[in-house]
Chains A and B, each alone.
Chain A
Amino acid sequence: MTKKKIEKQLSLPFRNAFQMSLRSLKIRFGRSIIVTMSILLGIAFLMSVFSSNAFTNALIEKGPEALRATMQQNSQELRTRSIWLVSLSLLVCVVGIVNAMLMSVTERSREIGTMKCLGALDRFVMELFLLESLAHGLLGSIAGAIIGIFAITIVFLLQHGRLAISVFPAGALLKYSLVSIILGTTLAVIGALYPAYVSARMEPAEAMRREV
């Protein structure tokens, strides 16, 4: 049997993909909010632990003598505790975000199967979910980082009053925010792309049959 030459041309222009992802976020607003919230919570928790450490370090470095002495006394204990807290919040963050993304994409297996019936390549499916999860991840992480910093700033303001502002560790907070945002976004993308990849690799009939 001679294989007929097939003129190869399949495409998904970026503009269309972007529009589709954006619209999907908008229409599944309720679902999007829940997914974004779980990213936000994870990152806010992580960021509050980071911020709290940053403030404590700043107070130790730049605070008045008396405060410094008491803080330094506790600093060894504090450090061990903060390592625990950071690890714990990282864990909560990873599990929460990955779980939310896994669920939200796995339940769309039929949609992925349908797209493949219409001639979508695996790449198109991945592109759509990449854009969507990037938006979720960035939005959730940025909001989470801001909320985390904000909450801890208020806590330190209440405890130390003006002193907290005078030692405000802007540099450290910025650095930690970046770390958190990159982490949150990466986790969101991995959590979404993995199930999207699994569904896209299946035969369309199988993907549409897949029960979640």
Chain B
Amino acid sequence: MPKEAIVRTIGLKKTYMLGKIPLPVLKGIDLEILKGEYISIMGPSGSGKTTLFNMIGGLDKPTEGKVYIDEVDVAQLDAYELAWLRCRKIGYIFQTFNLIPVMTALENIMLPMIFAGLSTDEAMEKARQLLVTVGLGERIHHKPFELSGGQQQRVAIARALANDPAIILADEPTGNLDLRTGKEIIQLLKQMNREKKVSVITATHDLKMLDVSDRVVWVRDGLIERVEDRANLDIKIGEVEGEEAG
């Protein structure tokens, strides 16, 4: 039985206006991401991967083309449904962590659950469990600025998982982290992908991500250059790691 698509884009285009000059960033992306898949969108900076990420996550509107999340056309949703989608269906992880600075780790994780209508007690209980899951059981009452980058990203992952989303979208999740911490975060994402059956979509240029990806989508100049699946990747990983070491 073929697997169901969780995200589908058709002829996705995005053009930014720089003053009066149009700057096409995405030039027609057709992509299908399956349920439970771990997919990496790779490409150099400026290739449009963050823009693609924003479109897939319903965080920005495409200039042309369609995005379907769980077979729902995002463009057809009103503000309330869009907020609901962001709250329940998608968990976001950012390069800069984007935790709410005035809230503790625990409260940051509770926030999306409170929006989703859980009581404070339920939310707190679940947030505690999630913090244990991501390996931060002890630092629950710390504010983001009291946590290291890796710890903040763990909180962000726990927050992304708060409402049991179908998709986790991670934009350069390892971009602000050192090599070792980055590896840990990637392992954690993969673990969540396996255990919770959540689709993970990362936009990254971190080659460490190749190891855990089911498929890699290479983006260049706003177009998909090629898509490689697991079998192909295995052969190439040696090469790529060599590149990284050099």
A contacts, CB < 8 Å to B: 1-4, 6, 8-13, 15-16, 20, 23-24, 27-28, 110-111, 113-122, 124, 203-206, 208
User: B71 near A4 (CB under 8 angstroms)?
Assistant: yes
B83 within 8 A of A: yes
Determine whether the beta carbon of A10 is less than 8 Å from that of B116.
Answer: yes
Q: Which chain A residues lie closer than 8 Å to B163 at the CB level?
A: 119
Chain A residue contacts of B102, Cβ below 8 A: 20, 23-24, 27-28
State the B residues within 8 Å of A (CB): 54, 57, 59-61, 68, 70-73, 76, 79-81, 83-88, 92, 94, 98-103, 111-112, 114-117, 120, 143, 159, 163
Within 8 Å by CB of A124, from B61, B76, B115, lies B115
Contact between chains at A205 and B54 (CB < 8 Å) = yes
- A1: which B residues are within 8 A, CB to CB? 68, 71-73
Cα–Cα distance between A20 and B100 once the two chains are bound (Å): 11
New A-B pairs, 8, CB < 8 Å, besides A3-B76, A6-B81, A23-B102: A11-B114, A16-B120, A114-B94, A117-B59, A119-B88, A119-B115, A119-B116, A204-B60
Contact B98 A16 (CB under 8 A): no
Residue pairs across A and B with CB atoms within 8 Å: the count is: 99
Residue of B whose beta carbon sits closest to that of A201:
B79
| Most chain A C-beta atoms within 10 Å of own C-beta, residue among B85, B92, B115 | B115
Dominant SS at the B interface? mixed
User: Could you say which residues of chain A place their CB within 8 Å of the CB of B120?
Assistant: 15-16
Distance in angstroms from A9 CB to nearest chain B CB is 5
Task: Pull 30 A–B residue pairs with CB atoms less than 8 Å apart, ordered by A.
Answer: A1-B73, A2-B71, A3-B73, A3-B76, A4-B72, A6-B84, A8-B81, A10-B80, A10-B117, A11-B114, A11-B117, A23-B102, A23-B103, A27-B102, A27-B143, A28-B102, A113-B98, A115-B111, A117-B59, A119-B83, A119-B84, A119-B87, A119-B112, A119-B116, A121-B83, A124-B115, A203-B59, A204-B59, A205-B60, A208-B98
Which of A10, A111, A124 meets B100, CB within 8 Å? Answer: A111
Closest chain B residue, CB of each to CB of A23: B102
